[in-house]
């Protein structure tokens, strides 16, 4: 009963946070609403005893949203994506498509004859899922993940035209926090 309650609460919260993505008026708030939706979606995966997959969802989505927030702060015209802006375009068309897709998916879920499984569940569902998804390509995917991480770090480093201490130009004399080169110090 407790698992069912947690599932229902997380399902409602995930849908509400997903709807908030389109209702809030800034990119930063939409990013954090999307992160909340992903976290609430990961909890039912954890309830299915798929601990690795649930934690992976939380970690991946958290890192993805943090990277998106960092890029918003660095590159957006408005400060940190907090300026009001509309997040939805073509609202009537989007609503019609959303309702149609929901009806098709709901009809598929309700009308498809789901198979009855008589076999007991596997001892380690995470291992079985990992082998089903990755198979022999696990090493390739791990290397690809490291390459993607290195690409993100390199992109951030190359995107900054100046270093951490280059606020006052190349001449470091006169920096207010440098007592050695003529500044006041703290």
pLDDT at 155: 82
Q: Which of the four pLDDT bands, split at 50, 70 and 90, describes residue 88?
A: low
The answer to pTM > 0.75 is no
- The whole-angstrom separation of Cα 81 and Cα 71 is 10
Q: How many other CB atoms are there within 10 angstroms of residue 19's CB atom?
A: 12
- The whole-angstrom separation of Cα 29 and Cα 22 is 10
Helix (H, G, I), strand (E, B) or coil at 120: coil
- The whole-angstrom separation of Cα 16 and Cα 20 is 6
* Length of the chain, in residues: 186
pLDDT at 86: 67
Q: Which of 6, 5, 57 is nearest to 36 (CA)?
A: 57
Q: Which helix (H) or strand (E) element contains residue 159?
A: helix 138-159
Contact 57, 38 (CB under 8 A): yes
**Tokens describing residue 51:** 């601990």
């Amino acid at each position: 009963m407790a698992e069912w309650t947690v599932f229902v609460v997380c399902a409602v919260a995930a849908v509400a946070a997903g709807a908030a993505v389109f209702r809030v008026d800034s990119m930063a708030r939409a990013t954090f609403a999307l992160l909340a939706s992903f976290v609430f979606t990961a909890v039912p995966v954890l309830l299915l005893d798929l601990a690795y997959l649930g934690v992976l969802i939380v970690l991946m989505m958290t890192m993805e949203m943090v990277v998106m927030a960092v890029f918003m702060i660095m590159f957006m015209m408005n400060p940190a994506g907090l300026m009001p802006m509309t997040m939805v375009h073509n609202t009537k068309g989007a609503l019609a498509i959303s309702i149609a897709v929901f009806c098709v998916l709901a009809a598929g879920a309700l009308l498809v004859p789901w198979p009855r499984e008589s076999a007991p569940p596997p001892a380690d569902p995470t291992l079985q899922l990992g082998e089903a998804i990755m198979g022999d390509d696990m090493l390739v995917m791990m290397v690809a993940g490291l390459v993607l991480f290195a690409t993100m770090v390199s992109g951030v480093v190359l995107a900054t035209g100046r270093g951490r201490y280059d606020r006052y130009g190349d001449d470091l004399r006169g920096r207010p926090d440098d007592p050695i080169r003529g500044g006041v110090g703290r």
